Amino acid sequence: MNRIVKRLIMLFAVVLFVFTAGVSAAQAASPHFKKGGSPVCTVSISGSTATTTCRAVITGLGGEDLRATVTVSGAAVYQCQNGGGNTAPGQNKVVIGPAVAPTDISGSAIKNGNLTLVTNPAVLTAPTTVTGAEAGCPNPNWTGVNPVITVTSISLVIEQPVGTIIFSCSKSDSNGLKGTVSLACSA
């Protein structure tokens, strides 16, 4: 073969390699939720504590480490208790939180660009007591007791690599979120 043909073959091989590598990188950089895998969070409430864990199934991920951060906020309503131990309903919602729970996942746990994500629980806890003024009691001599907590907002931010947001998901409802909660996401 002459030198020109050899150079053309070599040039073609280099161009093909660069193009193929570029396609692979582009495919790995298109994360999305699998069908039926959009983020769903479970909110469990027990007394003055609410625990929120989220789950999602993601594909199209690269091999870098991933971080998913759940942030939960809420409110608590207290009973008003006077010095004699009598109680009456409080009038105010006392803002609680936010509670933040990051979950770090090693790139080695991502198989063929796929990951079933289950986050660490975000635990939101209301103080056992608050001042009478905070609880909306008749006068400052009362104390807010027996909190009933409500989760009002959930946020899930997914980063890959850590520091680069690939999904920002959330749901809020001033009347409260409980049980299974589907989040709305933007890329």
Same domain, 64 and 82: yes
CB-based contacts of 74: which residues, under 8 Å, 6+ apart? Answer: 50, 95, 96, 97, 124, 126, 149, 150, 151, 152, 153, 176
| Number of structural domains found in the chain | 2
Assess whether 24 and 90 both reside in one domain: no
Residue 2 has pLDDT above 80, yes or no: no
Is the domain of 21 the same as that of 89?
no
Would you list the DSSP string of 58-109? EES--SS-EEEEEEEEEEEEEEEE-TTS-EEEEEEEEEEEEEEEEEEE-GGG
Same-domain pairing of 3 and 54 = no
Looking at the fold, whether 126 and 111 belong to one and the same domain comes out as yes
Identify the pLDDT of residue 140: 86
Residues 58, 14 share a domain: no
pLDDT in tens, 119-146: 999 999 999 999 999 999 988 899 999 9
35 and 3 together in one domain: no
Do residues 20 and 57 both lie within one domain? Answer: no
Write the DSSP assignment of 27-61 as a string of letters. HHT--EEPTT-S-EEEEEEETTEEEEEEEEEEES-
pLDDT digits (tens, 9 = 90+) for 26-43: 344 699 999 999 999 999
Is 40 in the same domain as 23?
A: no
- 3-class secondary-structure state, position 124: strand
- Give Rg (Cα) of the chain: 26
Residue bearing the bigger pLDDT, 25 or 149: 149
Domain of 161?
31-186
- 88 shares a domain with 25: no
How much is the pTM? 0.82
The answer to whether residues 85 and 156 belong to one domain is: yes
